[in-house]
Amino acid sequence: MLMKAYAKINISLDVVGKREDGYHLLKMIMQNIDLYDVVKVEKRKEGITIGCDKAYVPLDERNIAYKAARLFLDIYNIDGGVEIYINKNIPVAAGLAGGSTDAAAVLKCMRDIYEVDASDEELMALGLKIGADVPYCILGGTALCEGIGEVIAPLKSFKDKILVLVKPNFGVSTKEVYKALNIEKIYKHPETEKLIAYMEVNDLVSVSRNMKNVLENVTIRNNTVIKKIKTKMINLNALGSLMSGSGPSVFGFFDDMLTAQRCYEELKKDYNEVFITRTI
Ligand SMILES: C[C@](O)(CO)[C@H](O)COP(=O)(O)OP(=O)(O)OC[C@H]1O[C@@H](n2ccc(N)nc2=O)[C@H](O)[C@@H]1O
Ligand SMILES: Nc1ncnc2c1ncn2[C@@H]1O[C@H](COP(=O)(O)OP(=O)(O)OP(=O)(O)O)[C@@H](O)[C@H]1O
């Protein structure tokens, strides 16, 4: 079975508290984009094997898709295995939920191929054991995510918005970014309700001007290139530009394809991983 596993961007990301176990309480607007890995899952008599077309992705139990398969087999008491192959197009350690979306696709494929009668909610609860972004990746689309990411309310679709996405030539550790955040020192929080209202009336200009991610300043502190990309995008007529998740990927929204194309061409001169895509 083949499945597209879509990347996400954060149109906003707010941290509103901290749990006793150190996990942060969030309020964020998540949005799928038309950039995806292709995940192939096939039934096997026993064992879990992972293959991938990119050498830098781990192929053993460190792969989050492996963890998803292991958990699924254990929880549903399945006497069998799977062979997984990932065509990796989503940049890694990028703030785009690349691993989480693969894990979500594996859970959904295994539900089908092993004919397990599990609801999306049940799969989301299972996904949460693997990572905080996995429940959203199971549902996808446009959504407000709270809790540590697992309390999900679907929002009106915000599809077909053009964006340019740049992944600078380094990755960041989500764990380290959250560790370096001082909640008391968050200077400006996103106005999430206002953003949702703009999204509901498809007002891309106002959404772009008000996007905010409180992790941005943390990641920028050690990686000034993020600021540089944001400025360049704005100078190339992006309506607004923001870092996604814990970074370091940066995206900018555009009114039209021609302007986006121009920005894409310029950024391509300096960065290897540049994409022109749409929200879906
Ligand atoms: C930055 C985001 O991508 C925004 O969607 C997510 O919050 C991160 O989700 P994720 O990568 O699936 O996170 P996990 O794999 O569960 O956790 C990685 C690390 O990030 C930190 N973490 C994650 C989620 C959260 N709500 N609070 C946290 O403090 C924890 O230290 C954890 O050890
Ligand atoms: N299937 C997978 N795809 C990509 N990376 C994976 C996968 N499984 C494990 N990893 C490892 O997970 C780490 C984080 O990669 P990932 O691409 O998921 O980060 P991310 O996009 O920043 O995630 P998030 O936005 O959820 O924080 C990397 O160090 C990578 O080696």
Q: What is the pLDDT of residues 54-98, one digit of tens each?
A: 999 999 999 999 999 999 999 999 999 999 999 999 999 999 999
The percent of residues above 70 in pLDDT, for the chain, comes to 100
24 lines ligand 1 (CB under 6 A): yes
Q: What is the mean pLDDT of residues 27-44?
A: 98
Task: Say which CATH number the domain at 239 has.
Answer: 3.30.70.890
| CA–CA distance, 110 with 30 (Å, rounded to integer) | 25
Question: Same structural domain for residues 54 and 103?
Answer: yes
Distance (Å, rounded) from C-alpha 135 to C-alpha 184?
Answer: 28
Residue nearest to atom 24 of ligand 2 (CA): 97
Residue 203 has pLDDT above 90, yes or no: yes
Select from 154, 181, 205 the last residue of a domain.
154
3-state SS, one letter per residue, for the chain: CEEEEEEEEEEEEEEEEECCCCCEEEEEEEEEEEEEEEEEEEEECCCEEEEECCCCCCCCCCCHHHHHHHHHHHHCCCCCEEEEEEECCCCCCCCCCHHHHHHHHHHHHHHHHCCCCCCHHHHHHHHHCCCCCHHHHHHCCEEEEEECCCEEEECCCCCCCEEEEEECCCCCCHHHHHHHCCHHHCCCCCCHHHHHHHHHCCCHHHHHHHCEECCHHHHHHHCCHHHHHHHHHHHCCCCEEEECCCCCCEEEEECCHHHHHHHHHHHHCCCCEEEEEEEC
Among 111, 136, 154, the domain boundary falls at 154
pLDDT of res. 55: 95
- Mean pLDDT to the nearest integer, 173-184: 96
* Ligand 1 binding pocket includes 101 (Cβ within 6 Å): no
Verify that 180 and 244 share a domain, yes or no.
Answer: yes
Tell me the C-alpha distance between 26 and 175, whole Å: 15
How far apart are alpha carbons 8 and 87 in whole angstroms?
17
The Cβ-side half-sphere exposure at 275, using a 13 Å CA radius, reads 21
Domain end (from 154, 170, 203): 154
Residue 143: give the domain boundaries.
2-154
What's the start-to-end Cα distance of the chain, in Å? 22
Catalytic, 212? Answer: no
Q: Of 14, 37, 102, 133, which is the active-site residue?
A: 133
**Domain shared by 123 and 177, yes or no:** no
Shared domain for 24 and 70, answered yes or no, is yes
Residue matched to tokens 């309310």: 153
Paired strand residues for 2: 40
Based on the domain organization, do 222 and 145 belong to the same domain? Answer: no
Q: What is the CATH number of the domain that holds 83?
A: 3.30.230.10
**Residue 205 CA to ligand 2 centre (angstroms):** 31
Pair 91, 180 in one domain:
no
Ligand 2 pocket mutation, candidates 92, 101, 150, criterion most atoms within 8 A of CB:
92
147 lies in the same domain as 27: yes
Residue 161 has pLDDT above 90, yes or no: yes
Each residue of 215-237: pLDDT tens digit? Answer: 999 999 989 999 999 999 999 99
Q: Is the CB of 7 under 6 A from ligand 1?
A: no
Distance CA 147, CA 149 (A): 5
Residue 27: pLDDT over 90 = yes
Q: How far is the CA of 259 from the centre of ligand 2 (A)?
A: 31
Total structural domains within the chain = 2
Q: Are residues 138 and 228 in the same domain?
A: no
181 and 132 co-located in one domain = no
Residues 106 and 196 in one domain: no
Res 109: pLDDT? 98
Query: Chain-wide mean pLDDT for the chain?
Result: 97
For ligand 2, say whether the CB of 244 is within 6 Å of any of its atoms.
Answer: no
Compute the distance from residue 247 Cα to the ligand 2 centre, in Å.
Answer: 12
Q: What is the pLDDT of residues 96-155, one digit of tens each?
A: 999 999 999 999 999 999 999 999 999 999 999 999 999 999 999 999 999 999 999 999
What is the 154 CA–ligand 2 centroid distance (Å)?
24
Is the model's pLDDT at 187 over the cut of 90? no
How many residues belong to the chain?
Answer: 280
